[in-house]
Structure 1
Amino acid sequence: MKKILSLLLACALTVSIVGCGKSTTGTSESGDSGTKTETTGGANGNGPVELKMWVHVTDDTDEGKSYAERAAAFNEAHDDIKVTVEFIPRDGGGSGYEDKINTALTTNQLPDVITLDGPNTAAYVDAGIIAPIDEYISKESRDDYLPSIIQQGTVDGKLYALGAMESSVALFYNKDILAKYNIEPGTLENPWTWDDLFTAAKTITEGEGYPALDMRFNDIGEWYIYAFAPFIWSNGGKIIGEDGLTAEGIFNSPEAVEALTFFKKLVDAGVVSVTPEENNFELGKSALYLNGPWAIPTLENSYPDINFEAMPYPVSPKTKELHVPTGSWQYAVTAQSKHPAEAAKLVEWMTNTESVVSITKAIGMPPARKSAVEFLPEYQEGARKVLLDQLAKGGHARPLSVIYPIISRNFQEAVEAVLYGDDPQTVLDEKVQVIEREAQRYKK
């Protein structure tokens, strides 16, 4: 237990992103149609089942307001289940919320439902914090989620968590500058390869006199594995073994070495800066920009003169397979809940079509359900559509491992070392030893 609790605390430092309850017949809002079914009272016939849910934000944020509104709607629609939401903000280092979960785990005081960040799912399962929900989620409902949502919530073949929102990274570009150099952007059917990216960035850099590509290399932390692991995946490699614990021959594979060598090539050629200035792209000082959906409102509202669009994530010239970053916050039923069926119904409600539309409108993250798109016209064209389309085609969750925070930190340190001139193979070999030492604590 001690090693699990210490790892979960480490998790806080790495993160950024139709229920069929068996014992109740509560009124529910369908994840797809919004229809309702009548209720006949509480699960035990003596009043409604009382559920508690913890979320990781304050109630005065746009995200928190969405959670509160959807929980209130759940209560209004159900006579036999009532939920109380507790808002527990994450501290600056991200530890406040996770600290409370750790304490509640040891004192047997976990609520019925919690939110958790996608990459930490495996650690939460291993710690005995959350329980599988497969039996409560119909195939029809499950098929409506983006594949990446199911992937990030599944551990050892069992579904533990569902999200209402997704996240990803695309290659934003200045349409005017690409047109100036007669450069055609990539498409979902024909995305740019690494070679295309390098050639375009080099052409623009030489013509404009500034590094054309901004990969946010100055944004250290979880951004590194989130944004750059897809280069390895697209190249046919992996970050960690299927057991989540084997790094030798995988973390330092030839495919990984080639991906990090490409980063070094970009830096050595001067087409990307390791320390870019803030708002380069927004100010027209770079033409290509790796970033997520959160950049779109800023560009639209604060920099209307920038004529921008987005193209899919670059692919390895070796495989040309599209792999894009995914992962955000999700809901799970805790293993200590005395009402798992009702709690699972709440999880599905908080991720049904109406809830997905609510959270997408509140904070602008891509919707987790396919059925939500028809209610979100902004995701039917332009950069937002590119982000959503590439998620559906090539979404790839970060590694599911109980030692994920260790993997993430060492990935970041390896990439940083290479950017500043170290040999990729040597660095990755060194980091493998660190990861393997930590993994030994969990290997049977």
Structure 2
Amino acid sequence: MKKKISILVLFIILGAVLVACNSDEDTSATEEEISGEITVWVHPYTSDSNAEEAMWEEIVASYEEEFDATVTIETIPWSNRDQKILTALAANNGPDVFYAIPDQMPQYADEGMLLELDPYLEDNEMDDFVDSALVSTKWQDKTYGLPILQEAYTFFYNVDVVKAIGKDPENLPTTWSEFEEWAKAAKEEGYYAYSYQGGGSMNGTLYPFIWQAGGKVITEDDEVMINNVESVKAFEFVNNMYEKNWIPEDSITAMNHDAIWNAGEMLAVLGSGISLTNLQESGLDFVIAPPLKNKEQKTYGTTGMFVVPTNSDNPNAAAEFVKTVTNAENQRKFNTITQYIPTRESAKNIFDDQQYLKQLSEYTQYALPGVIHPKGRNIMPMIQAEVQTMMEGEKTPQEAADAAAEAIEAEIAK
């Protein structure tokens, strides 16, 4: 508890200091005025450190050829990254650019910790970015980051199971009703329909169904919508799957159903590009379907971005580096190595000869990066607990949604 309180206090104090110190910052530097040094914090995105080092050398060289500035790349571990970043920034000893994910950005931006990038983006070909990739870079209509990678989660179907239940692997479900028809057929033939990993993130369980139903969890203006008519349909959809045994009995708390899938006893699993290696190693023949649709066609897919802290000693050079690292050429370099999907449409051609990644790259247009809100990370366990209570039969879908809404409202009020 002490650790959580100290970080919150750090947010508030640092935010106030940064806003006061940077309110009159000049963002009109010309290319000739961009000089000096910047430090960029990145993470290990693959297990091949040598390939990543070479990649960063190329990306940095492309920047330093254009600007009279020197870039130092520092790789920091994923563990405890929040605390490391906050501590460094509070000590005015942090990076000039760092990598952020969707549930970090709104927390930092809301506390005034991030530099607004809009004044720098007039010449940045913003129309080339996938619209959905920009969702997680904005807070209160201001841009605080530029995206470099994206994912799109969707259903992977076991071809043998599809055929066993009398369905066509070339004509996969695209709507809830079609999936329910397939799920029923799978159950009748002794298969589970789907892997619902109730112990995992809401991004991979309930949230996609909420978005597909046309619902939302919470808005930027703190309007709680998880218990409205549309969102409750997602609770009902999950509850229906569990009551009809279309998903395994341990789905309430399960973290994965790899053993069931690998045994050929499951119709579909939710996956993305990072799932491909495991799926291919399973030896099973599979096909990938477009994200499902009820009222809307949506899915989950994280977005990785680069941001600039407001206490950077060299904000103009830092902002230009963010633009450079996320341009089409460097996105091709970065995502060829990492095998994530570029966020620029013009860079997606790196996967033209890779069947599955090419298909998944077409689905990022439907991918939302989670709940973009400063409280997005905090409210997830509250929602998860209510969904689990519902699946245990102790609450109706509406009651679970109402209880989740009440918990979210209490968290916002803190």
Amino acid of the residue matched to residue 290 of structure 2?
Answer: P
Cross-structure match for 2:350: 375
Q: CA deviation at 1:73?
A: 2.5
Cross-structure match for 2:260: 280
Distance 1:79 1:150, change over 3 A: closer
Distance 1:432 1:7, change over 3 A: farther
Secondary structure of residue in 2 paired with 1:289: strand
Task: State how 1:193-208 maps to structure 2 within 5 Å.
Answer: 193-207=175-189
Q: Structure 1 CA distance, aligned partners of 2:47 and 2:267?
A: 36
1:238-261 residue CA offsets vs partner (Å, 9 max, x unmatched): 101341x232xx122222222111
Q: CA deviation at 1:389?
A: 1.7
Q: Does 1:307 align with 2:285?
A: yes
Secondary structure of residue in 1 paired with 2:349: helix
Cross-structure match for 1:240: 218
Q: Does 1:178 align with 2:166?
A: no
1:195-247 residue CA offsets vs partner (Å, 9 max, x unmatched): 2112102212221x2313223334x2xx223443121122121101341x232
Q: Which runs of 5+ in 2 are unaligned?
A: 12-26
Task: State how 1:77-226 maps to structure 2 within 5 Å.
Answer: 77-78=65-66, 80-91=68-79, 96-138=80-122, 141-184=125-168, 192-207=174-189, 209-218=190-199, 220=200, 223-226=201-204
Cross-structure match for 1:338: 313
Contact 1:166 1:327 in 2 (8 A): yes
Contact 2:140 2:220 in 1 (8 A): no
Cross-structure match for 1:29: none
> What TM-score does the superposition give when structure 2 sets the normalisation length?
0.85
Q: Structure 1 CA distance, aligned partners of 2:134 and 2:105?
A: 12
Q: Structure 1 CA distance, aligned partners of 2:279 and 2:304?
A: 24
Secondary structure of residue in 2 paired with 1:104: helix
Q: CA deviation at 1:173?
A: 0.6
Secondary structure of residue in 1 paired with 2:306: strand
Q: Structure 2 CA distance, aligned partners of 1:291 and 1:58?
A: 18
Residue 391 of structure 1 is aligned with which of 364, 370, 374?
364
1:54-100 residue CA offsets vs partner (Å, 9 max, x unmatched): 12338964585476334433455245011112222122xxxx21112
Cross-structure match for 1:54: 41
Q: CA deviation at 1:22?
A: 4.5
Q: Does 1:430 align with 2:403?
A: yes
Q: Structure 1 CA distance, aligned partners of 2:206 and 2:58?
A: 34
Contact 1:119 1:327 in 2 (8 A): no
Q: Structure 2 CA distance, aligned partners of 1:172 and 1:412?
A: 24
Q: Structure 1 CA distance, aligned partners of 2:247 and 2:309?
A: 44
RMSD of aligned alpha carbons: 2.7
Q: Structure 2 CA distance, aligned partners of 1:436 and 1:341?
A: 39
Q: Structure 2 CA distance, aligned partners of 1:79 and 1:359?
A: 20
Contact 2:291 2:298 in 1 (8 A): yes
Contact 1:58 1:89 in 2 (8 A): no
Secondary structure of residue in 2 paired with 1:115: strand
Q: Structure 2 CA distance, aligned partners of 1:254 and 1:372?
A: 39
Cross-structure match for 1:15: none
Cross-structure match for 1:255: 230
Number of residue equivalences: 389
Distance 1:364 1:385, change over 3 A: same
1:104-162 residue CA offsets vs partner (Å, 9 max, x unmatched): 23222332111111222111101222111112123652111111121110111111111
Residue 8 of structure 2 is aligned with which of 6, 9, 12?
6
Secondary structure of residue in 2 paired with 1:73: helix
> What TM-score does the superposition give when structure 1 sets the normalisation length?
0.80
Distance 1:422 1:299, change over 3 A: same
Distance 1:24 1:407, change over 3 A: same
Distance 1:70 1:97, change over 3 A: farther
Runs of 4+ in 1 over 6 A off after TM superposition: none
Q: Structure 2 CA distance, aligned partners of 1:402 and 1:213?
A: 32
- Say which structure is richer in helix: 2
Q: Which runs of 5+ in 1 are unaligned?
A: 10-20, 26-39
Amino acid of the residue matched to residue 217 of structure 1?
Answer: G
Q: Structure 2 CA distance, aligned partners of 1:198 and 1:56?
A: 40
